[in-house]
Amino acid sequence: MLDRRWISLALLVAAGCGGGARGPAAKNLLVVSIDTLRADHVSCYGYGRETTPNLDALAARSQRFASCWSVLPTTLPAHAAMFTSLHPKLVGALANGFPVAPEAHTLAERLRERGFATGAFVSAVPLHPSFGLDQGFETYDFPEGEERTGDVTRARAEAWLAERGEERFFAFVHLFDPHTWYDAPQAERALFGAPKGPLPPERIFLKRPEAFGPAQRAALVDAYDAEIRFADAQLGALLEGLERRGLADSTLVVVTSDHGETLDELIDAYGYGYDHGEFLHARELHVPLVLHVPGDDAPRVHADAVSHLDLVPTVLELLGLPREGLLLGRSLVPLVVGGSLPPRPAFAERRTLTRGEVLRPESPFLSGEEYAVAGEAWLLVSGATRGDALYDLRSDPAASVDVAAGHPGERQRLEDLIESWRETQAALGSQGAAASGEVDPALLEALRALGYAAD
């Protein structure tokens, strides 16, 4: 049996140390999050279609992390982890509509305290400022309705960047386009043969799963890929703007996604499709992460399992700033400068499901807790009511193996890691803060309109 003190010790050491090898210090920071972008639909991650030419071009002169994992496949919790280096449970944000605790020390707050101009440009209501992710941002630009297209958000970000002059800045740009509903402009639809009109006709637990035949499923993949291509075009325009303003040589660029998406893979088994959050498969957890350090155009691909929790300590070090307070992630700078890091698993959990969601289909697999742990080779999904499923990430990450007969030792090792992680989270709970503020009912309705059932 693995000593359960292992993770506690690792986290405490990570929280207290200031990092190892330091890379070149960048002046500015641009973080682009492309919502609902699963890694296996990104060209530079091996997808057969050219969905992301601009991200591919960036990756060709940057650091690409081949095994990056979301800690919770839901928009607000994932971004909360990304910008605090704490698991969502510790900052009170286990679902959309559960605000990030004001006590959380966000990346924007850290950088604003150091004199950075801070601006966020978000595209959908899950990141509305009422939900707490605005902490530390002087400018927090958000849509008036439920969502807006990425070109609008990108234009607002570019206008803000044009006004910065010589100021040191942190810009966060959130592009929501690959999230349902899939409704890309005609130019991107034409590239993949996607039909007109917003798709899918229904989502989550489908009322008529029999209507989703092979042709309909293929059309929905086309529509999803078209949305990715449109979001990638906005990334390309942002990067071109940095070049045009003479900022590219001084700006650290991070491109990632909060989570992926289940397309048609679970329609036959659960009648579930075109959503995320209820399951912890690789398609929802495995996301792209590309990091470009100004002045370093040598491409590198890292196989190490990394997490969104690693973003804050990594960028702090690359910006030449101290690491302070409790951070559960670790700096990836040793990898960036050509060194190595000891192997470390990445953990994820299912978001809090409301009573209505659990009863949405009267099925037991939605009740109880569910956790996942990923390394370079294996992903274990451990559910209280669905049992365990072990996935070989090297051969077929979509197909589970018989954990009892095939790899019992691997299953036990990963189960022990999950149990240790859960105990550690409980022990750290007193250092987090559960937010309990009132949320505007109109915002909750806007969340529900996007398919989120936040109570």
What digits encode the pLDDT tens for the residues 82-100?
A: 999 999 988 989 889 889 9
Name the token pair of 157.
């970000």
Question: Count H helices, E strands: the chain?
Answer: 14, 16
Question: Does residue 442 sit within a domain?
Answer: no
| Reported confidence tier of residue 431, pLDDT bands at 50, 70, 90 | very low
**364 closest CA partner among 340, 386, 393:** 386
Q: How far is CA 172 from CA 130, 167, 231, in A?
A: 17, 16, 15
Q: How far is CA 336 from CA 6, 259, 288, 309, in A?
A: 26, 23, 16, 16
Task: Please give the Cα distance from 107 to 404 (Å, whole number).
Answer: 43
Task: Please give the Cα distance from 39 to 44 (Å, whole number).
Answer: 9
Task: Please give the Cα distance from 122 to 131 (Å, whole number).
Answer: 13
Q: Residue 74 phi/psi, 5° resolution?
A: -145, 145
Q: Which residues pair with 305 in a beta bridge?
A: 67
| Reported confidence tier of residue 14, pLDDT bands at 50, 70, 90 | very low
Share of residues in the chain with pLDDT > 70 (%): 87
- Answer whether 361's CB lies under 8 Å from 271's CB: yes
- 6-20, 61-75, 138-152: segment of lowest average pLDDT: 6-20
Name the token pair of 326.
């409790």
Share of residues in the chain with pLDDT > 90 (%): 68
Question: Does residue 248 sit within a domain?
Answer: yes
Beta carbons within 8 Å of 210's beta carbon, 6+ residues apart? none
- 46-50, 267-271, 425-429: segment of lowest average pLDDT: 425-429
Range of the domain at 184: 26-339
Residue 300, pLDDT score: 96
Question: Does residue 89 sit within a domain?
Answer: yes
For residue 313, pLDDT over 90 is answered with yes
Mean of per-residue pLDDT scores for the chain: 87
Residue 355, pLDDT score: 72
| Number of structural domains found in the chain | 1
Which is higher by pLDDT, 361 or 292? 292
For residue 206, pLDDT over 90 is answered with yes
Task: Please give the Cα distance from 3 to 39 (Å, whole number).
Answer: 33
| Reported confidence tier of residue 446, pLDDT bands at 50, 70, 90 | low
Question: Does residue 185 sit within a domain?
Answer: yes
Q: Which residues of 349-372 are buried (b: 16+ CB within 10 A; e: fewer)?
A: bbbbbeeebbebeeeebbeeebbb
Residue 426, pLDDT score: 78
For residue 240, pLDDT over 60 is answered with yes
For residue 75, pLDDT over 80 is answered with yes
Please report, for the domain that includes residue 239, its CATH number.
Answer: 3.40.720.10
Task: Please give the Cα distance from 267 to 103 (Å, whole number).
Answer: 41
Annotate 46-76 with three-state secondary structure: CCCCCCCHHHHHHHCCCEEEEEEECCCCCHH
Question: Does residue 441 sit within a domain?
Answer: no
Name the most confidently modeled range: 23-32, 184-193, 203-212, 431-440.
184-193
Residue 287, pLDDT score: 98
Beta carbons within 8 Å of 87's beta carbon, 6+ residues apart? 71, 72, 81, 309, 328, 347, 349, 425
Question: Does residue 302 sit within a domain?
Answer: yes
Question: Does residue 357 sit within a domain?
Answer: no
Question: Does residue 393 sit within a domain?
Answer: no
